[in-house]
A and B are shown apart, each in its own frame.
Chain A
Amino acid sequence: MSGSATAVMPVVSAPRTSYWKRNQRKLAPWLFLAPGLLMFLIYVIWPIGNSIWLSFFDWDGLGEKTWLGLDNYAELMDDENFYISLKNNVIWLVLFMLAVPAGLFIAIFLNQTVTGIRIYKSLFFFPFVISQVVVGLIFSWFYAPNFGLLFKLIEWVTGTGIAFLADPDYVTYALVAAGLWPQIAYCMILYLTGLNNISPDQIEAARLDNASGWRMLWYVIIPQLRPATFIAIVVTVIGALRSFDIVSIMTDGGPFGSSRVLSFYMYEQALSEYGYRMGYGAAIAVVLFLIMMIFITGFIWKMVNDERSGG
């Protein structure tokens, strides 16, 4: 009690003008945060809540909203296209993870000091720098029936080419392959930086113990690359679930909707030419969001732990 009394004393006696001076340290962070935080709350945080709310309505984006309760979700449960999209999302997610070992492989391949290696590294990284729209167009040409490079190669080897983008059985795999191209480049650059920072002492020590090749990689290198691996997994999972551009550019969800993913199906429902179904679209987005939340929670949990232990 006496402590708080003495603390109050100077406040009372101090001149009014110094309120700012006294509280500067307390107010400053919020003033610094205000513009960015405000924008972020308006454009990112509030819309998440709003989307969840809208998913309980029937709404065309202009007129009255009609309360549906869980009807949108009930409809989803019976929607075959929803399951196709969900299945494709799983394919994307699983196959996209190949980017992590593939990126590591290329990074190891390129982690040398021969002349010109820096240019090689930059050029290997190239696919990540260009837009997914351009990647999509490049691969559309690569797969194009009758004259696409890959089509011709397969035709040359087996006698008949395969029109990957027109075949419901292959199309999603073809899209994932296109998406993997820049993603592998991204993982590669993460691992190149990681490899660069491995302590040479440990490698030398391991060499003295006769560790080499695979054993060295598995027991010495990969454990030291853990921060790079963590980030590579985070960006790859996020990238897989965000796959929209490639689908939109290369197939527009086709053929017969067989290459849709949730992000694309949502867009199609909410802004389709057959009329806007904002509520139903929002419900699809909520499902995608919940899937993403499983991963986000895991990532954040790990980052909070690191933050606590790191001080």
Chain B
Amino acid sequence: MFPRPIQKAPQPAQWTYTVALPLALLLWLLPLLGVAVTSIRPASDLAQGNYFGVPSTIALGNYIEIFLNTPMAKYIRNSFIVTIPTVFGAVALSCLCGFALAVYNFRSNLLVFFMFVAGNFVPFQILMVPVRDLTVQTGLYNTYLGLILFHVAFQTGFCTLFMRNFIKALPYELIESARVEGVSEWKIFRHIVLPLMRPAIAALSVLVFTFIWNEYFWATVLTQGADVQPVTAGLFSLNGQWIAQWHLVSAGSIVAALPPVLMFFLMQRHFIAGLTLGATKG
């Protein structure tokens, strides 16, 4: 283990570590904590210049206010409507693609694989004008479906990379012996490989959920107005309306951040397994 376990260090070093750990965390999360406290601060505190002291009351009213007076609930709903089908779509398509690229040896295999990988890295702006035009032409501008279709397609690149590497690591003999038995390729996928992919599916679902929930650029390019816009884009327009009403901006930010945060804490192991794929090879 590196560094040397602190338990083996001399006593003063251990004490220093015990103090430094919470202190470092406090510093690290200082901006976030500030916003969290501001979100429960009554507007009157801000008016009187009480920005950092203890809030005079705990104003949960800020949260009620953003739900009553703004389309926040609608934005949140939109985010779910866009995010959940995207997770299903991208994970399903990448299971299929990953299987194809991991199991079959065909000539353009690596070419297709690296096309997925490379597509994943391109700047969004090089896609923006054609994708927006395509979405407008097909009547999908400012619809959930328009946003979902693009997200599914783009996330399939990253997810395929992940799935392919995962299936490659499975024992190939499983597939070979099934073939000897005369099991069809589809049934090999459906009944032998897919059940083994559960951890990968879980990891990707959590990751894609977080990515899409937090996505902002395409939300502004492909949608407008509170009817369809997800919460990231919604928060941007609310921020424009709430000039300097930081108690509301803060409460809105916290609300928008909550679903992925919950997802992360509930599915932490899968989340990190997905994110650190490839970081341990060799």
Using a CB–CB cutoff of 8 Å, the interface residues on chain A facing chain B are: 24-26, 28-30, 32-33, 35-37, 39-40, 42-48, 50-51, 54, 61, 108-109, 111-114, 120, 122-127, 129-134, 137-139, 141-142, 144, 147, 149, 152, 181, 186, 189-191, 193-198, 200, 203, 212, 216-217, 220-221, 226-228, 231-232, 234, 238, 241-242, 244-245, 248-249, 262-263, 266-267, 270-271, 278, 281-282, 284-286, 288-289, 292, 295-296, 299-300, 303-304, 307
Contacts and interface: CB of A to CB of B under 8 A. Distances in A.
Contacts of A220: 2
Nearest to B131: A47
Contacts of B260: 129-131
A253 B236 CA distance: 14
B123 interface: yes
Contact of A131 (B25, B130, B150, B257): B257
Nearest to B261: A129
B60 interface: no
Interface in B29-51: 29-32, 34-35, 38, 46, 49, 51
A174 B214 CA distance: 21
A111 B129 contact: no
28 contacts: A26-B106, A29-B104, A33-B97, A36-B96, A37-B97, A40-B156, A42-B134, A54-B129, A111-B1, A113-B7, A114-B7, A127-B32, A131-B256, A137-B249, A137-B252, A137-B253, A141-B31, A141-B246, A149-B31, A186-B275, A194-B279, A196-B280, A200-B1, A241-B123, A289-B122, A299-B121, A303-B117, A304-B114
Contacts of B132: 61
B116 A54 contact: no
Contacts of A152: 51-52
Interface string B98-141: 01110110100110101111110111111111111110000000
Interface stretch (B66-74, B195-203, B264-272): B264-272
B59 interface: no
Contact of A141 (B4, B112, B217, B249): B249
Contact of B31 (A50, A61, A138, A289): A138
Interface in B230-277: 232, 235-236, 239, 246, 249-250, 252-253, 256-257, 260-261, 264-265, 268, 272, 275-276
Contacts of B28: 123-124
A133 B216 contact: yes
B94 interface: yes
A224 B180 CA distance: 41
A231 B216 CA distance: 24
Nearest to B157: A40
B156 A39 contact: yes
B281 A270 contact: no
A122 B262 CA distance: 12
A227 B126 contact: no
Contact of A44 (B17, B154, B281): B154
Contacts of A137: 35, 235, 239, 249-250, 252-253
Contact of A282 (B96, B114, B129): B129
Given A33-B112, A39-B152, A289-B126, A203 B1 contact: yes
B118, B235, B236 — most chain A CB neighbours (10 Å): B118
Given A37-B97, A138-B31, A245-B217, A45 B119 contact: yes
A189 B275 contact: yes
Given A129-B261, A249-B236, A289-B122, A113 B5 contact: yes
A273 B272 CA distance: 41
B3 interface: yes
A300 B114 contact: yes
B93 A35 contact: yes
A141 B217 CA distance: 22
A43 B128 contact: no
Contacts of A193: 272, 276, 279-280
A149 to B, nearest CB: 5
B21 A296 contact: no
A112 B232 contact: no
A198 B133 CA distance: 49
B162 interface: no
A141 B121 CA distance: 31
A295 B120 CA distance: 13
B84 to A, nearest CB: 17
A61 B2 contact: no
B127 A149 contact: no
Given A32-B99, A190-B276, A114 B17 contact: yes
Which among B24, B97, B114 has the greatest number of chain A C-beta atoms within 10 A? B97
B81 interface: no
A284 B125 contact: yes
A217 B130 CA distance: 48
A43 B149 contact: yes
Contacts of B152: 39
A24 B183 CA distance: 11
B280 A300 contact: no
B124 A263 contact: yes
The 5 nearest A-B residue pairs measured at CB: A43-B153, A131-B214, A47-B130, A32-B100, A36-B93
